[in-house]
Structure 1
Amino acid sequence: MAPTIRPFHPADVPGLYRLCLITGDAGGDATGLYRDPDLLGHLYAGPYPVADPTLTFVVADDEGVGGYVVATADSLGFARWLDEHWWPVLRAQHPRRPDPGDGSQDHVLVDRLHDWPTDPLPQYADFPAHLHIDLAPRLQGQGWGRRLIGTLAHALRARGVPGVHLGVSERNTGAIAFYTRLGFETFATHEWGRTLTLGLGSSG
């Protein structure tokens, strides 16, 4: 089967988690960083299609899920949904733990899920939606990322959403260049990277 973009199906969840892990180290494979291979997916992939499956799209081919974009139209509402519906079970299942000193980063993600912010951020006013996008190496450099974001942007515009934002590590220079080509602009810089924004007021 040739690669094709389609709406999310529940059977895609394992593929989303796997892809989130193999691209989770600033675009590189994060498998060696985590003892629990599902933790990254729990934070950055899994909750989106549960909260709103109509804003998750995948690229699928003969090997399964080769790319995805997950999103929410309302970042503040989503943060509150996470706090009520998503984090309680995960916080109980993953109590805080010390750094084991072996280079693994599970404790970092566990702290993050316990400390997930629910307050509005400055970009929410004009760019209330946010997204995460990942592509397997076999599909990179072929335009699938642009098509995924275009598909999502169309869905967000249909809801009247004025703009979308995302976070990207400063180490992921390829991703920053990709987003810049799509018209994203730097909204803020942080120790970990930058927040990028894209207005959705036109069909460009």
Structure 2
Amino acid sequence: MALLRPATLDDLPAVTRICTLTGDDGRDATGVYDDPELLAQLWAAPHLVADPALATIVVDDDGPAGYLVATADTVSFEAWCERMWWPALRDRYPLQAPRRDRDQGLVALLHTPEATPASITDAHPAHLHINLLPRAQGLGLGRALIERLLGQLRERGVAGVHLGVSGTNKPAIGFYEHIGFAPVAVEPDGGLIMGRSVT
């Protein structure tokens, strides 16, 4: 039986592991990258550190099985990352060091992160990242995680939320559309930005 509970910074290793095990369009990314923990350093860990109150962990009989991390204000979060998160990672992962192309793409992102455009953040200022291990999928937990976040964002007076999803991850796109998200932008790599109103 799975349950949702508020996350704490002690959950960071579990969040990193789940991010790795789902980091290749929902599949295990361990063999795809030389350093798959970079995925979590980009898209999960900073959210948990910056605003743990918006982070939720799924726990079942076998331990942590999923998470949702989020920020209520993407613009402020990106500024926080520039001050507090990226500098240490840039020192740890110098841009010029030799590495595989896929790893180099992640390192390039932390050295030159893209700012989310106002065309997205004006209507959807919050954003989220969610991952569930296969054993936790198909149980309604993804919907429950997002509904929990929507309630938290309403309490903060946030108007809308967005997320990114790979353009090739058709099951995820279908799931998000089913719970009220719609495409609001297409990224250069074919990924979708999907958003929905919080109210």
**Fold match, TM over 0.5?**
yes
SS in 2 for 1:105: helix
Give the Cα–Cα distance (whole angstroms) in 2 for the partners of residues 98 and 171 of structure 1: 30
**Residue 124, structure 1, aligned to residue 127, structure 2:** no
Give the Cα–Cα distance (whole angstroms) in 1 for the partners of residues 184 and 117 of structure 2: 15
Give the Cα–Cα distance (whole angstroms) in 1 for the partners of residues 116 and 27 of structure 2: 30
**Residue 112, structure 1, aligned to residue 120, structure 2:** no
TM-score (norm 1): 0.92
The residue aligned with 2:197 is 199
Give the Cα–Cα distance (whole angstroms) in 1 for the partners of residues 132 and 84 of structure 2: 28
The residue aligned with 1:59 is 58
Give 1:17-166 correspondences, 5 Å limit. 17-97=16-96, 100=99, 105-118=102-115, 120-166=117-163
SS in 1 for 2:31: helix
Question: Could you give the per-residue CA deviations for residues 158-191 of structure 1, whole angstroms, max 9, x where no partner exists?
Answer: 1000000011111100100000000101111223
The residue aligned with 2:178 is 181
The residue aligned with 1:7 is 6
Give the Cα–Cα distance (whole angstroms) in 2 for the partners of residues 13 and 83 of structure 1: 20
Give the Cα–Cα distance (whole angstroms) in 1 for the partners of residues 24 and 114 of structure 2: 22
Structure 2: gaps spanning 5 or more residues: none
Give the Cα–Cα distance (whole angstroms) in 2 for the partners of residues 152 and 182 of structure 1: 13
TM-score (norm 2): 0.95
Deviation at 1:72, TM superposition (A): 0.2
Question: Could you give the per-residue CA deviations for residues 5-47 of structure 1, whole angstroms, max 9, x where no partner exists?
Answer: 0100222111100110111111111111111232111001100
SS in 2 for 1:116: coil
Number of residues of Structure 1 aligned to a counterpart in Structure 2 = 198
TM-aligned CA distance change 1:177 to 1:99, over 3 Å = farther
Give the Cα–Cα distance (whole angstroms) in 2 for the partners of residues 107 and 98 of structure 1: 9
**Residue 168, structure 1, aligned to residue 165, structure 2:** yes
Contact 1:67-1:136 within 8 A present in 2 as well: yes
Contact 1:97-1:107 within 8 A present in 2 as well: no
**Larger mean Cα displacement after TM superposition, 2-11 or 162-171:** 2-11
Structure 1: gaps spanning 5 or more residues: none
Contact 1:79-1:117 within 8 A present in 2 as well: no
* Structure 1 residue ranges (4+ consecutive) displaced by more than 4 angstroms after TM superposition: 98-101
Give the Cα–Cα distance (whole angstroms) in 2 for the partners of residues 41 and 87 of structure 1: 13
Deviation at 1:75, TM superposition (A): 0.2
Give the Cα–Cα distance (whole angstroms) in 1 for the partners of residues 180 and 118 of structure 2: 21
Contact 1:128-1:161 within 8 A present in 2 as well: yes
Aligned sequence identity (%): 45
SS in 2 for 1:11: helix
**Larger mean Cα displacement after TM superposition, 111-120 or 19-28:** 111-120
